[in-house]
Structures are given as structure tokens and as C-alpha cells.
Amino acid sequence: MAALPHPEPLSGESYSAVELGLRDDEVILLDQRYLPSEERYLRLTRTAQVAEAIRSMVVRGAPAIGITAAYGMVLAAAEAEAADAPALLQAAAQQLKETRPTAVNLAWAVDRMLALVPSTSRSALRSAFAAEARAIHREDVAACRKMGALGAEHVPDGATILTHCNAGALATGGYGTALGVIRAARDAGKRVRVLADETRPYLQGARLTAWELHKSGIAVEVICDGGSGYWFGRGEITLSVVGADRIAANGDVANKIGTYTVACLSLLHARPFYVAAPWSTVDLACPSGAQIPIEFRDAREMTDVPFADLERADRASRAQSEPGSAPPNEIQAHPAGRQRWVPDGVGVLNPAFDVTPAAYVTRLFTERGVFSPAQLRQGAQPGGGA
């Protein structure tokens, strides 16, 4: 268990999914693949490493990868100060955007950085980018707190809340979207109990949501994904709340695979299904869920025993490195498990996201207000929302 190597994290927690080093020269990432076994940080100094970290799920969650990409652009700006800035920054932006296709926050954050280029002198690029990236980070935490407070009004005292995947501090700049709603309800004095879907194949619920809620003293129990129907059927689930990777203009919501199943169960059992997301997740240029690209990930996430070999690979890599060498700054590829769970020759379908139609969404919680999907466009209007 290593401490966060940053004295003033913007996350507002003792841990952080992502921070920019104080000298703007490194991106600090919690390697979430090791959780809950180990709290382990990577310190990355090159944009290519940051891109690989996003691709490899060292960091995940739409807002968090947006912030990470913005910080990755700071590293690119440092390189660009001594080179052909526009071309280098465009290449870095492209590299970062290509890492994951579904979350819109990634492109949104990178484009926000690129917008600074025309008005910034080359020598000021790094500091301008660092300031803007930190602003994105701070705004995200503030947005989480705001939507949390708004969403918490929809959580009754004594609620049992189902959540899927991890939409918490680990998936954002800090505080969390769906888990921010739960934190805010608890902080408002409401008794809440959380059922966390384990969320195959990557187990973000079992590993990450359970970890951060437990750390915050919020009652959480893990269930398997297929098990949520059982608890709905018994009437034990008051409401569901999840995050989002992209929200289309019509209110359709792309989120972690399995979310649509939770929405279907909510509808059939007449329980509210809430989505909490910052406005940076809303893509008004995308007319409906049908236009959201769905990432299909490596079959090995499902066929092999995940994570079990991380410690072994880590021991091997430590054994190879010099005593007293610097902290790790290379991303290991997803390690192949020693034992496969799926027979050789059998195909696996591993879409990483699904789309929940707007009609299944009771309310969207954003920092600009609480909307029904039909009201979503109001958030784009001045004075809209709330």
C-alpha cells in the first residue's frame, strides 16, 4: 500500500484516480487494476504512456479518462515547447482520443486543451495547458458535488441502492457521479445501503465501488450481475443509480455493459433508474444512442483469470529492476491468466458498453440540474436546469 505521491490532490480524498505533478511534468495515476489488493501509483512522463494507461484500464471512468487525457496533453505541451507545436499537439491529441471510443469526455477534454493553442505563445503552452487541465479537474469535482446534492434529494431515507460498475471518486476527478449521489445522501443524514453489482468482466463493482464505499464508511454488499433480478424480485431495491460514458441528445445513455439490464429490471419492477453524469458527458451532436460507438474489448478480459497474475508479473519485474530504482513508469499489458475459463476455440463477445434508451431513464442528474431525458436540451440553455 503506497501513499498518493502528491501533497495537494484535487480529488479531495486521500487517494486519487489521477493528478498532475506539482511541476507539471508527470501524470500520477492510481493503477486501478491492482485494487482492492494494493493501492499503487504510476508516475508517467510521456503522453504515449498516458495513452497506454487509458487503453489498459489503469484508469477508467468517463470523467477520469477525460481529466487524464487533459493531463496527458500537458506532457505533450512540454515537448511541444521545443518543437513544431501544432503538429505535435495534434498528434498527441489523436493518440489520446483513439484510446477508447465510447466515452465522449475524452475528446471533449482534449479539444478543450487544443482550443488554447491559437492564443498561446509556444513558451507558455505548458503552463497554460496545466492551468486548463487543472480547471477541468476542479470543475469535475465541483460538478460531482453539485449533481450529488441534487440527486440526493431523490434518495429516500433507508434506501437500498443498486449501482453498476464504478461511478465514484475512482471514475472521476473525485467524489463521483452515481456514488457522489450516494455520498451526498449519506452526508445529508439519510441511511443508505448499497448493493454493488460485481460488473463482469472487469469487476469494477466488486473491486472499486466496494473499495471506495467501504473506505467512506457506507454500507455496501457485492452481488453478482445476474443476482440483481433476485433482489428486485424480492422488492429490496429502492432505486438504481449509475454513471454514463456518453449521453446522446435524445437522452439515450451509453454506460458499462450490464447497465441496460439494470434499466430493464428497474422498469419491470417499477423502480426509478437514475443516471448521474457531468455535462461533459452529454453529446448534443450525437442524435441518439444508435450513433454512439460501442467499444468491443479483448476476449481475454473474459476468458482468462484476470488480475491473478499481476502480483506475479510485478514480482518478476521488481526482481529484474535495480535496487533503489525509480517507481514503475511502464504499463504492463493485461496479463494473461494461467488458467482459462473459456475452452480454447470458443468465441467470446465482449462489448464494453450498452445503450439504455431514454424511455428507461427516470431522471438525469447533472451539475446543471435534474432533467427528464426529454428535458435534456434545457441544460444547454442559459439559465436552464435545476
Applying CB under 8 A, among 24, 52, 132, 225 the residue interacting with its own copies is 225
If phi over 0 gives left and psi between -120 and 50 gives alpha, with beta otherwise, what is residue 204?
Answer: alpha
Pick 322 or 344: Cβ nearer its own copies: 344
Cα 115 to Cα 75, 261, 360: the distances in Å are 16, 39, 36
Of the two residues 88 and 294, which places its CB atom closer to its own copies in the complex? 294
- Give residue 283's Cα distance to chain centre: 17
Site for its own copies in 12-51 (CB under 8 A): 36-37
Q: Judge whether 225 counts as a catalytic residue.
A: no
Task: Give me the least distance between CB of 219 and its own copies, in Å please.
Answer: 8
150 binds its own copies (CB under 8 A): no
Using CA atoms, how far apart are residues 51 and 29, in angstroms rounded to an integer?
Answer: 12
Q: Residues 252-291: x/- map of binding to its own copies (CB under 8 A)? A: ----xxxxxxxxxx-xx-----------------------
The single residue among 226, 235, 287, 327 that binds its own copies, judged by CB under 8 A, is: 226
- Could you give the CA distance from residue 200 to residue 304 in angstroms, rounded to a whole number? 12
Distance of CA 63 to the CA centre of its chain: 5
- Asked if 371 contacts 154 with a C-beta cutoff of 8 angstroms, the reply is no
**DSSP-derived pairing of the beta strands 192-197 and 219-223:** parallel
Asked if residue 175 binds its own copies (CB under 8 A), the reply is: no
Catalytic residue among 24, 140, 225, 245: 245
Residue from 47, 166, 240, 350 in contact with its own copies (CB under 8 A): 350
> Interface with its own copies includes 123 (CB under 8 A)?
no
Q: Is the Cβ of residue 175 or residue 232 nearer to its own copies in the bound state? A: 232
What are residue 220's phi and psi, to 5 degrees? -140, 140
Q: Find residue 364's DSSP bridge partners.
A: 275, 371
Identify the H or E element spanning 219.
strand 219-223
If residue 42 lies in a helix (H) or strand (E), which one and from where to where?
strand 41-44
Q: Is 214 in the site for its own copies (CB under 8 A)?
A: yes
| Binding residues vs its own copies (CB under 8 A) | 36-37, 164, 195, 197-201, 203, 206-207, 210-211, 214, 220-233, 256-265, 267-268, 302-303, 305, 307-308, 310-311, 337-351, 354-355
> Which residues form the catalytic set?
245
